[in-house]
Chains A and B, each alone.
Chain A
């Protein structure tokens, strides 16, 4: 009996102790599991979601509001001709394996992006870096072949994080970076674990341990949050369930915006979509608000071009493609498709695509276009649509920030080839003054909107469901990231 008493006493004490100290571990769920753990060698957004600013850091970095601030580079100087960037690196930065991060590592990382066999998904962003030279261990000079107003922004991307030659070989399964968290374990198909890195150069995060879990099924996601198996779900997949979480005092719901332009991707080389009148007809056949209400339960901002509405340079071009089925029919008749035509509509798994696809198919049917839906898994979608370009229509959200330049690449999967636009992008890259850039960006947005390259639907919203006491999570997703640096539990 005494033994039992002592035992209960001890456990009560332990319980009290546990309650007194704030919780310092977190389990975050995201929908997709990263295919590998190399942000510099994979296009999957999930890689950045897990690793960006947690495990890996770049010379500059994005903050929660989308601003670009110094990262591993403490400061920089830009030469008057805009061609040379001299970065001063922070002191005392070490990789998780104990090696020092210095100018050699920066040179290695940037040279690796531009290497011939580079697998970097955003190679084009860094193509005009001609030379990276080590001035001294704390100073790096980056030389460009022409001024690039976006360089500091581009360097903040997850694709430009600093890696070490010592650990590069196993980066895909054992990432070693300079961030506040070091990678511990990856149980494929289930979770990734990381813990605070003692030797971190900056402010220590409040959390000591973090686990990322991958739950793709919306029903399972709902159950996991309800059962409090996860502390937060970033990018909750079922918008219809959010009101329930909002009404529940155990949870908080953050509805933010992303850089994801959700578009009806159109194969510009495949007849009949090579005719601008047909593309215009498709654009007028679509009722954006119905898609936002039906597929996203009202979350999302309508867009009229490929640009984020919360960006100051956004031009509202929705007027170019108002819902007008009669005009759509007239345009189809002009193009010689008075009786409509049949095409494919290939949909990846997210609900914006699957549900949005059903709605768009119904709207297209009203103007006589038959869109045959086929539902694809991501791997199939990448193979058939993105690489194979074997599609008529598709729906996908382009989540990269400031990615209007993809329209200058005629080999990109929707195959838009316009010399005027390509020249405009070159001009934009060479322009550094903000006003000039705004004007060029406005022109670029107008060109693709008036060319009806794709059907512009809405800016994807991101919803985060978290336990009530959790603070410091990003509201918006200026880049794909679940930055845990500033996350903590309320006392």
Chain B
């Protein structure tokens, strides 16, 4: 009894102290206000409404009708296409997420020791694909399904195939093509963060390392560079999770929408289908909620993993 009252007393005291502090610093809240209003309207409120709509049947015309977990149940038990979408999204995310992340770091690290002018060129070359708006559509020429397609022409000339392969229509090849294109675009903001972070690692740490007998570049990477890069690694992880789970433009532009046999369907294209073609907003919101939860969980897992690096 005694302990619980003192606990509440402390809590109360804390609250009063916090309130006094908040009153003293009210100008801070004034500065924060415009951003907060917009941020809550366009980022937090949508997430909350999305969770709310996911428990309703809502088609924009009628008022939303509460149906409990029915949307989620349908999602898992009835919607076979959703399961395909989940599988495809996970295949893409599991392959392009980690590989893209590791490649971004490795190339940022390789670039780091080049002379300045060459480093600038390299940064532009590696970063350009992810900002060149819609440059991935050029892959529809490279992977075109007839003999005028560049890859098919090469295969035909070397006699590796005797008829052009339908890279963008045949379910056997679609996923590979999409993964290649996504990897090509995977060096985004995280890569820039790595390049900049590597430049900022304290040089005296390296010098101490030479004296203490760090023998080769890999030891240096593991014992010095990675631990001092942790904040950037976390930022890069957030960025690569976001891009790996939200692959939708590439499959829609290359494999068509809908794609053959739903072979290139991802969670986001599924969401688009239900949200903007069939206007089943409740169902689409359930899909969005699932995607959102998966992304948050992944982020937590990666944070836990990165805490162990270099220790």
Whether A associates with B in a native complex is no
> Footprint of B on A, CB under 8 Å?
none
> Footprint of A on B, CB under 8 Å?
none
